[in-house]
Structure 1
Amino acid sequence: MDALDVVSTGALMLLGVILLVLVMQILRLREICQMMLGCQKIERWASIWEMENKELRSALRAEKAHVEQLKGKVVILQALVPAA
């Protein structure tokens, strides 16, 4: 084995190491991308739930106002009806 073979073998081994590092980086990036996609789904659901909560709070306020209005009408009607 002469010097050229040693250099060629060393370069080949170095290329193998570089390839291994690149494969490891690709796997790590894939994992990060999957995490990002999961976070996007969670964010989308959180946005949907937030909108639903706003709608429900608005409906609850409207119902409470309606109940107060009905209570006022009951008080007026009770005042009109003579006590037995």
Structure 2
Amino acid sequence: MTMSDVISTGALLAMGVIALVLLVQYLKLHDIGQMIHECKTATHQARIWEMENRELRSALRAEKAHVEQLQRKLVLLQAWTPAA
């Protein structure tokens, strides 16, 4: 084996190692990209749930106020009607 064959073989091995390292880095970046996508999806869903929760809490407050109003009217009506 001549010196140029040794150098060529070494260069080929080095390129193979570099290609392998690049493949491993690509796979890691792909996994990180998937995690980012999942986080964005989860964040979007959490925002939707938060908006729904705000709307439901608002509706609940309105219903409670309506019940209190009806209870006050009932007390007034009971006081107004003679006891039987």
Q: Same fold judged by TM-score > 0.5?
A: yes
Cα RMSD over matched residues? 0.6
Question: For 1:43, what is the secondary structure of its paired residue?
Answer: helix
Corresponding position of 2:33: 33
Over residues 8-32 of structure 1, what are the superposed CA-to-partner deviations in whole Å (9 max), with x where a residue is unaligned? 1101100000000001110111111
Q: How many pairs are equivalent?
A: 84
2:80 is aligned with what amino acid? L
Give percent identity, aligned residues only.
Answer: 62
Matches of 1:83 and 1:4 in 2, distance apart?
116
| TM-superposition CA deviations, 1:9-66 (whole Å, max 9, x none) | 1011000000000011101111111111111111111000000000000000000000
**Any unmatched runs of 5+ in structure 1?**
none
Q: After TM superposition, what 4+ stretches of structure 1 lie above 4 angstroms from structure 2?
A: none
Q: CA deviation at 1:4?
A: 1.1
SS of aligned partner of 2:82:
coil
TM-score (structure 1 length as normaliser)? 0.97
- Tell me the secondary structure at the aligned position of residue 14 of structure 2: helix
Superposition TM-score, scaled by structure 2 size: 0.97
CA distance in 2 between counterparts of 1:19 and 1:81 reads 92
